[in-house]
Every structure is written in C-alpha cells, then in structure tokens.
Amino acid sequence: GDSVTQTEGLVTLTKGLPVMLNCTYQTTYSPFLFWYVQHLNEAPKLLLKSSTDNKRTEHQGFYATLHKSSSSFHLQKSSVQLSDSALYFCALSDRTGNYKYVFGAGTRLKVIA
C-alpha cells in the first residue's frame, strides 16, 4: 500500500540555522505531496503542496522540491526561527478522484535560542 516515511521524530536546532526535514513516499500513482504544520494545541494547516516533478514550491520561507526519481519531498528552510517550532507532517494523496490521504508520522521541530 501507499506510505509516507519521515525518518526524524525530533529535530532540535538553534535559531538562525538551516533545516531539512526528510520525507520519502511509496505509491503506484502520480501523487500530490503536501507538508502540513501543527503548532502546539492547534489544528494542522497546509504549508506546502506540489504535484510537479523537479519544481520548487515555497511558502513562508519554507521550500520543497518534489523528486519523483527518488520519491522524495524534503522540507527546507535556510534560517529557522523560534516560531517555527511545531510538528510537521508530510502527506500524499492521489489525483484519481479518490481523495484518501496518507500521512507520515510527523517530525517535531524544536528551535532554541
């Protein structure tokens, strides 16, 4: 079946440093890939979305590139801020009309001063 793998459970960084959160996936179809962010005691909300191979998508200083050759959609930011501390989920869905989603387990990013 379809799956999304996020290898890091917790990433702790000092503010101002760059970050990359890993996301790889397995699917038999051509998917949409997403990053959702969940701040403490809040609902998850969309951060980034892509379906185009090798095209960089950016929002709020975060960026990701879908690479179908390696089935990856890593999330990056050049300089993290304290407010970036949150839980980040990678997810995929298909485009056939069955809008079932598959989420990764999530990566908690903790930014310290």
Partner 1 sequence: EAAVTQSPRNKVAVTGGKVTLSCNQTNNHNNMYWYRQDTGHGLRLIHYSYGAGSTEKGDIPDGYKASRPSQENFSLILELATPSQTSVYFCASGDRQNTLYFGAGTRLSVL
Q: Give the residues lining the site for partner 1 (CB under 8 A).
A: 9, 32, 34, 36, 42-46, 49, 89, 91, 93, 95, 99-101, 103-106
Nearer to partner 1, 14 or 100 (CB): 100
Of residues 14 and 41, the one with the C-beta less far from partner 1: 41
Least separation in angstroms between residue 5's CB and partner 1 is 11
Query: At its nearest, how many Å lie between partner 1 and the CB of residue 78?
Result: 25
Instruction: State the nearest-atom distance from the C-beta of 113 to partner 1, in Å.
Output: 26
Pick the closer one to partner 1 by CB: 63 or 101: 101
41: left (phi over 0), alpha (psi -120 to 50) or beta: left
Give the C-alpha separation, 90 to 100, whole Å.
14
Beta-bridge partners for 63: 58, 76
Q: Which of 9, 10, 17 is nearest to 81 (CA)?
A: 17
